[in-house]
């Protein structure tokens, strides 16, 4: 029996060095002889590339692997010109690797389950227009005006996601001590346990104050939860709940593509670049260790510019 299990059958999560995990996984595949030499070589190249990308993002253990990192890596491959069968093979390689990690107790949940290869005509992340964002936030503000605790929470949560471009994991992990309404900043811990300060604007500050004064106490009367955002059951809000809230909002809008909280992060980053922010500042805001990861948003901005030009210019 694997040492990933305690007596009594309860799983004990055992994080492992990412590079070593890939080595052991490939070694097991090689000994099993279930793949052709060509496929095994391709998987080795794919997973080595993932490790290199993860290390640039200061992720070096299996515990830190998540769906966001895998998607960012996949997008970087698509941006480099990889398409079709190559992208699908990379997705297959990663999904089998993360499933193996879960089975052996090196991951609690499988981040590869929701991973999909970008379509040939959609390699860039989905970005909402400013009018769409305004529509979402105005609708949430209207609901929050009823002073319903959940409506106040959802308004503050979405305002902050868009204002600060936080990862959903950073949002649900945000503590009351990490929120500074006097300076409109939040202190979050991102990839590789790297702490950073992230600013947000006045609309988000107002929504947060309204939630903290009239919503959070109602959801957590005993004030025994340290995280800012609280569930309807009184515990810390989970990632899945945030996904459900945001997905419901985006489902009402036209367009295709992802409907999770990451779309708000993409949108915020793109709008910052559209507004003239420099790439290094956006990199710091997003908490990217590699500038190359942030550069995907310059492609999004360029694509939006080209579409606007082709639509509006008489000689496009």
The catalytic residue positions are: 167, 191, 262, 265, 288, 297
231-240 long-range CB contacts below 8 Å, 24 or more apart? 232/150, 236/172, 237/153, 237/157, 237/172, 238/172, 239/168, 239/169, 239/172
Measured CA to CA, the distance from residue 155 to residue 211 in angstroms comes to 8
Those residues whose C-beta lies under 8 Å from the C-beta of residue 310, and which sit 6 or more positions away, are 316
Closest listed residue to residue 162, CA positions, set 284, 271, 245, 243: 271
Measured CA to CA, the distance from residue 53 to residue 71 in angstroms comes to 11
Strand partners, 180: 185
> What 8-state DSSP symbol labels residue 62?
G
CB atoms inside a 10 Å sphere around CB 54: 25
Structure tokens at 165: 């471009």
Cα 314 → chain centroid: 39
Strand partners, 236: 230
SS3 9: coil
Phi, psi of 215 (to 5 degrees): -115, -45
For the chain, strand residue ranges (E) read: 179-180, 185-189, 195-199
Closest listed residue to residue 279, CA positions, set 264, 262, 296, 266: 296
Closest listed residue to residue 216, CA positions, set 277, 164, 138, 153: 153
């Amino acid at each position: 029996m694997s040492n990933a299990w305690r007596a009594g059958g309860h799983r004990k999560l055992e994080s492992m060095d990412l590079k070593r995990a890939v080595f052991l996984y490939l070694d097991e595949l090689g000994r099993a002889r279930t793949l052709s030499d060509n496929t095994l070589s391709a998987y080795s190249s794919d997973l080595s590339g993932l490790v290199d990308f993860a290390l640039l993002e200061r992720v070096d253990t299996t515990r830190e692997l998540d769906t966001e990192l895998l998607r960012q890596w996949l997008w970087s491959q698509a941006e480099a010109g990889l398409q079709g069968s190559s992208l699908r093979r990379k997705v297959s390689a990663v999904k089998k690797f993360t499933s193996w990690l879960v089975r052996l107790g090196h991951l609690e949940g499988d981040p590869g389950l929701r991973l999909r290869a970008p379509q040939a005509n959609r390699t860039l992340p989905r970005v909402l227009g400013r009018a769409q964002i305004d529509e979402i936030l105005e609708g949430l503000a209207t609901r929050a005006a009823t002073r319903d605790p959940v409506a106040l929470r959802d308004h503050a949560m979405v305002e902050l996601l868009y204002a600060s471009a936080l990862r959903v994991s950073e949002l649900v992990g945000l503590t009351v001590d990490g929120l500074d309404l006097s300076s409109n900043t939040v202190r979050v811990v991102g990839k590789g346990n790297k702490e950073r300060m992230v600013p947000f604007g006045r609309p988000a500050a107002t929504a947060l104050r309204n939630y903290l004064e009239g919503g959070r106490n109602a959801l957590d009367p005993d004030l025994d939860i340290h995280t800012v955002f609280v569930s309807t059951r009184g515990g810390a809000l989970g990632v899945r709940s945030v996904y459900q809230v945001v997905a419901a909002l985006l489902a009402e809008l036209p367009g295709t593509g992802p409907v999770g909280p990451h779309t708000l992060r993409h949108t915020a980053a793109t709008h910052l670049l559209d507004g003239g922010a420099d790439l290094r500042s956006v990199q710091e805001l997003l908490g990217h260790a590699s500038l190359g990861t942030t550069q995907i948003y310059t492609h999004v901005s360029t694509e939006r510019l080209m579409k606007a030009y082709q639509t509006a210019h008489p000689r496009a």
